[in-house]
């Protein structure tokens, strides 16, 4: 299996480090695959429109959305949430620091 150490969980997913790549995480859907699929599709569409600089990259989605593999980001504080102009789709849960991560030196949304 691709699961490394347990990182944490939210209401809909459990997150583990990727077993063979320390720069990735694996998000496992708890009861429904909606959030993994939505996150992967948002990444895919943002990339197609040149807006991917705002998002932590997704790597792959497996088993119909049960597993989402994503590059790993670091937690940030509320004070580090970006301010100023940004694409409209990023403004959902805008003030929730759990939605933002530091990725390769930049603050991006998960």
Predicted TM-score of the model (pTM): 0.84
Q: What is the pLDDT of residue 55?
A: 86
Please list the ranges in the chain whose pLDDT falls under 70: 92-98, 109-110
Write down all domains in the chain, each with its CATH number in brackets: 3-109 (3.30.200.20)
Q: What is the pLDDT of residue 95?
A: 58
Region of residue 104 (phi > 0: left; psi between -120 and 50: alpha; otherwise: beta): left
- Counting Cα atoms < 13 Å in the Cβ hemisphere of 75 gives 6
């Amino acid at each position: 299996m691709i699961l490394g150490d347990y990182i944490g969980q939210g209401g809909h997913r459990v997150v583990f480090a990727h077993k063979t790549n320390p720069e990735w995480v694996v998000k496992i859907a708890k009861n429904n695959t909606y959030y993994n699929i939505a996150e992967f599709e948002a990444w895919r569409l943002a990339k197609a429109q040149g807006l991917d600089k705002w998002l932590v990259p997704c790597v792959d989605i497996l088993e119909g959305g049960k597993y989402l593999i994503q590059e790993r980001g670091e937690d940030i504080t509320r004070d580090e949430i970006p301010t100023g102009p940004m694409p409209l789709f990023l403004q959902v849960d805008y003030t929730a620091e759990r939605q933002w991560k530091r990725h390769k030196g930049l603050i991006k949304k998960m």
